[in-house]
Structure 1
């Protein structure tokens, strides 16, 4: 059951979340039409502090004003508005920047009811709306594939995704539902920058386009380079000055003054025997070939060739130690991990990002 909460009560529990991530709950922003902005500006503190996920280093707190948050919610709402959604279903925990935006402020901007669902719980009733905006994190797509009847009952499903690389299940969902019924819009950004760029999902690697208020720090730059941007929504460190530019942990190929192609996160690019590998893409390609509960590829230093990667694998109920055909799983990639490490669990953030290995003493297997 979804517990109905009043907009003012929801806002009072922010910005730390106050248990809001547990869900499920329903907030009727449509019941306060015309008053949402006043409610938000009154309830939120002038400066809101939010933490990074810890996926690329120690967690760090960054601050931004409520006006910056409201402005960004407007940009995201603008991506969904043309599809005329009647309700929002969100899976993003509101204690982080993306979740605060899409689970709270974007529905407020749109003036729509928002159903927040954590990983466990029922789907909203099929007849609650005909046209849905779904704000997603990576595991959302697997869940929607399991709930195909809910998706097919809708006239239109507009999915907004951020926080990590889009999983292969997103493409499967589009094919299953039909591109005329379901579309996926991606957001590229970070806690430090907020949303930087967006694109509509399509096969291959279509270019990203900067949000209207974002520019490259060097607008004349071309070719591959670290992504460095300017914009009015950059955060500031807690107690520090606002950022004027920020270099993300990403390599991109700059195409022109407004567009780029993503090459890979700096921490997820490794050069193995002269071949550069994007571990996020490689992980996606082998995941379906290995029966397991979870897996991750992690970069390591190698005393002989300098850079390599290890495969961390959590056995599932259908698989046991010694039954993994790692060579077959990696056959089409032309590379193999340096070693296989069987672990009890892989430490991830609540949005699915890899943080660090919890069981450092896990046994090794030859890969």
Structure 2
């Protein structure tokens, strides 16, 4: 057995209707093992499509005893949710199982769980974009993952009375370790939900009486913004610990939650390496290597790693991260390659430059990224386009259509000639100077992403859309107030247009450009503008 039965009757739960105990869980694992043994042989690969971490846990723990290997995918257009598919040579075999059919309450005790957690045979495949942006499959063994989960259990003090809520998907290593395996090795309760929006996170924290929140910096920023905007909102008193990973957690954000009496932990790691180090950013900028991990510094400040969470026989591993060591602790300096994390998503600056250079009448393009506490995603992308014929506004629209949200630059500068130093080279300082000049002209740009359009009861029955006045009040003016603290009471609206309607509850992005006391705004869904205009404030 890998865990003792939890004293809680709802060891793994979502709502009362789907509350499951440890005995229920063991029974489900055994049902999955029995069904999979009928269609698969040792060495076979299976694909699971689900967002339900309870199903992930049950199917994953069925794999080691069968000698099979699992790949998890939150969704697949060709498969219903919670489908387990046997793969042959990487493609569908026609053998599918509906995992929901095994999700029942146990009628009687099922006995111990057969799961060889010290096995060195691969039982899980994870996909990562790696250091070059191209997808790669990383195999993991039970020994690697369970030993790391047990280590985090001791470091974080997670016990059977813990109740865990996560905004991180279980298909990625961080979400899998902390919200599937950590509860299993500690006997803690977990929620099957994966809320992403601030209001739903707060609601789930309270309904679960959660003690631990597993999250990403981008979700913490949204949560802090929601808490600051409404004095009636509070975190539940049950909450003790916040754990963040996926991107570096800004110390100011960590401090904001630490001041609410919470322990805030930032974990450094990757799919390839597993966990490397952790810190509490409210009190230290330095990461402490995990107890069994040894670190060193190589050429160009490359992080060198010896870790039991790496594949057996790997030896010293050179990471794509730049660091300094200070008394054995790690000061993180950023990535060595052109891959950066924006809101927890890896994106390629090289790909951005390639796309920008491919636009009509564009002579050249350059991109860089910087940490930006003012950006909800934590990292701001800067793009410089060199063009003799194109104007900024039209290029901006083309980029919105061509780029995924995570890769869309927050700052765009269009110049007629590439900026160079006295040696004729385009350097980082030359590029940064362009945006410094823009800031001196009192132009400030902000992009607020993933906002939820309000629901207005009683308007336009049968065709629920958000009225223009509500768009201005709840999306535009509130976004300006959040972004520019000195602008509160508007004087007038100028050139306001509504090219298309916004549906109730739609996800929208708000783009703001401030020049002195005027703010140009654009509210858009995807690449489609839905509201544009200017708000003028008193001088």
TM range (shorter): 0.5 to 0.7
Query: Is 1:140–2:219 an aligned residue pair?
Result: yes
Query: Within 5 Å, which residues of 2 pair with 1:235-314?
Result: 235=311, 242-256=313-327, 258-267=328-337, 279-281=369-371, 283-285=372-374, 296=409, 304=420, 305-307=426-428, 308=431, 314=447
* 1:140-192 Cα deviation digits (max 9, x unpaired): 314543368775432442111111121454433333xx2xx311111111111
- CA change 1:211–1:233 in 2 (3 A) is same
Query: Is 1:16–2:71 an aligned residue pair?
Result: yes
Query: Is 1:325–2:402 an aligned residue pair?
Result: no
**1:60, distance to aligned residue in structure 2 (A):** 1.3
| Equivalent residues, number | 303
Query: Is 1:214–2:303 an aligned residue pair?
Result: no
**Contact persistence 1:126–1:150 (CA under 8 A):** no
**Contact persistence 1:20–1:94 (CA under 8 A):** no
**In 2, Cα distance between equivalents of 1:224 and 1:151:** 45
**In 1, Cα distance between equivalents of 2:189 and 2:75:** 16
**Contact persistence 2:324–2:332 (CA under 8 A):** yes
Report the equivalent of 1:69.
145
Tell me the secondary structure at the aligned position of residue 173 of structure 1: helix
**Contact persistence 2:306–2:315 (CA under 8 A):** yes
**1:58, distance to aligned residue in structure 2 (A):** 1.5
**Contact persistence 1:12–1:43 (CA under 8 A):** no
Relative CO higher for 1 or 2, CA cutoff 8 Å, sep ≥ 6?
1
Give the counterpart of 1:185 among 265, 279, 282: 265
* 1:59-93 Cα deviation digits (max 9, x unpaired): 21111211110001112212221688521111111
TM-score by length of 1: 0.64
Report the equivalent of 1:153.
236
- CA change 1:285–1:226 in 2 (3 A) is farther
**In 2, Cα distance between equivalents of 1:326 and 1:231:** 51
Report the equivalent of 1:227.
303
* 1:108-135 Cα deviation digits (max 9, x unpaired): 1110110132325563363644x60111
Query: Within 5 Å, which residues of 2 pair with 1:192-207?
Result: 192-202=272-282, 206-207=285-286
**In 2, Cα distance between equivalents of 1:343 and 1:59:** 33
**1:54, distance to aligned residue in structure 2 (A):** 5.9
| Stretches of structure 2 lacking an aligned partner (at least 5 in a row) | 1-13, 30-54, 61-69, 83-102, 341-348, 350-367, 381-404, 421-425, 436-444, 450-474, 481-495, 497-509, 529-539
**1:254, distance to aligned residue in structure 2 (A):** 0.8
**In 1, Cα distance between equivalents of 2:244 and 2:149:** 14
C-alpha RMSD of matched pairs (Å) = 4.9
| Stretches of structure 1 lacking an aligned partner (at least 5 in a row) | 236-240, 271-277, 329-341, 347-357, 360-367
TM-score by length of 2: 0.46
**In 2, Cα distance between equivalents of 1:108 and 1:20:** 24
Tell me the secondary structure at the aligned position of residue 153 of structure 1: coil
**In 2, Cα distance between equivalents of 1:208 and 1:322:** 35
- CA change 1:343–1:195 in 2 (3 A) is farther
Larger Rg: 2
**In 1, Cα distance between equivalents of 2:410 and 2:304:** 26
